[in-house]
Each structure stands twice: as structure tokens, then as C-alpha cells.
Amino acid sequence: MSSARLKGYQVARGRVMPGVRRQADAMQLPFQDETFDAVICQFGVMFFPDKPKAFSEARRLLKKGGVFIFNVWDRIEENEFANVITTALESIFPDDPPRFLVRTPYGYYDHSTIERDLANGGFSTLPQITKVAARSRAESSQIPAIAYCQGTPLRNEIESRDASQLDVATDIAAEAIAKRFGQGEVDGKIQAHVVTIEK
């Protein structure tokens, strides 16, 4: 990537663009070929039903020399709150534990799989994949428990097993986080991969 283009991305990254919203299907984006210098996707790729197809759409939109940047979560073991909650829920549903977090948001981290899907989407160069670790903090263990158990599709999996257990599952998740990270404010590791590839 040229230094001028990199500087442009850094400037763009630092600006807020209010009101720029357009709903679209990642498998069929409503833009002309070679329209953009950059296509960026923040923690969405894991949910694409056909990743090579979505990647081919991102590539189609890029001008020559343009860049596709996206991030994905690393494996669940590197994301402490999600991992603790997933393990805790096994105690309520031992015969059929909810595995949404493992399967989907934390299930697309393997570098060779990402590289293969990008190649199948038409990219001819290897991506640069950078691991990024950070901390997730909350004022109490209840906050991440509610966020994961009631604010993500994990809720659907809990309710499909026994809708009356949603609050119980949330409380068990909160207790497990408090046991691992202490009472009061909690602080857990999160880790992701940033993937960058040029057209």
C-alpha cells in the first residue's frame, strides 16, 4: 500500500461520518464495480453464509490497488467472558449446551481458512493478518452476562431449549464471571484478527 493511500486511510479512520448508513446484502452489494478505494467490515464476516461470495463482492467494488479490511474474533478460548459464559451454560443444558458463540462469532479465526475463502473470492495475493489483544471491562459481572445471554443470538439458543431458563442462565453466567474475575468491576481479555488484503 502506498504511503499516500495509507495516510488517507488513517485520516478517514479518525473522522466520524454521521448519517452514512445503507442496508445491503453482503452477497449482493448495490454498488458499481471498482467504486471504492477501501471496503471495510467490522466483526461481520463471521455471520456471512457464503464467505467467498461476500469476499468476491468486496473485491468487485474495489478499484485496482484498493484494500479490503475486516476483523474477526479469535477462538473463544482467547475471549474470556464469552468462554466463561459458554462453559457455565453447560451446567444448565448438559445434554445440549448452547454453542452459538463457539460456532459463529468465535468460530472463524483459522488463518488458512480465511486465506482459502479470500482466494475463492478472487483475491490473488495473501492477506496480512494481525492479532490484536485488548481488555473488555464492565462495572459488574451482570453486564457481560446480560449482553451475551440476552443481547446476542445466544438468547435464541437458550430459549429454544427452555425459555423459562433465560434469567437463570443469565444469573449463572454472571456468577461464573464473578467467580473468575471477582466481585465489582470485571476485566477480561478479548482478542481478534485484523485482515488486510489488496486487490
Q: Give, rounded to a whole angstrom, the gap between the first and last alpha carbons of the chain.
A: 10
Residue 117 phi, psi dihedral angles, 5° rounding: -65, -35
Provide the grid cell at 166. 433465560
Residue 23 phi, psi dihedral angles, 5° rounding: -75, 135
- Give residue-wise pLDDT tens across range 122-165: 999 999 999 999 999 999 999 999 999 999 999 999 999 999 99
Provide the grid cell at 17. 461520518
CB 51 within 8 A of CB 25: no
- Choose which CATH entry (3.40.50.970, 3.40.109.10, 3.40.50.150, 3.40.640.10) describes domain 3-198: 3.40.50.150
- Give residue-wise pLDDT tens across range 66-81: 999 999 999 999 999 9
* Alpha carbons 78 and 74: distance in angstroms, whole number: 6
* Alpha carbons 192 and 181: distance in angstroms, whole number: 21
Q: Spell out a b/e string for 46-58, using b for 16 or more CB atoms within 10 Å of the CB, else e.
A: bebeebbebbbbb
Which residues are within 8 A (CB) of 90 and not within 5 positions of it... i.e. 6 or more apart? 97
Work out the percent of the chain whose per-residue pLDDT is above 70.
89
Kindly report the pTM of this predicted structure. Answer: 0.86
- Average pLDDT of the residues in 180-197: 97
Q: Identify the H or E element spanning 132.
A: strand 128-138
* Alpha carbons 81 and 69: distance in angstroms, whole number: 26
Sequence ranges of the domains in the chain: 3-198
**Is the pLDDT at 17 greater than 70, yes or no?**
no
Q: Are strands 186-198 and 62-73 parallel, antiparallel or unpaired?
A: antiparallel
Q: Cell 467467580 appears where? A: 179
CB 38 within 8 A of CB 70: no
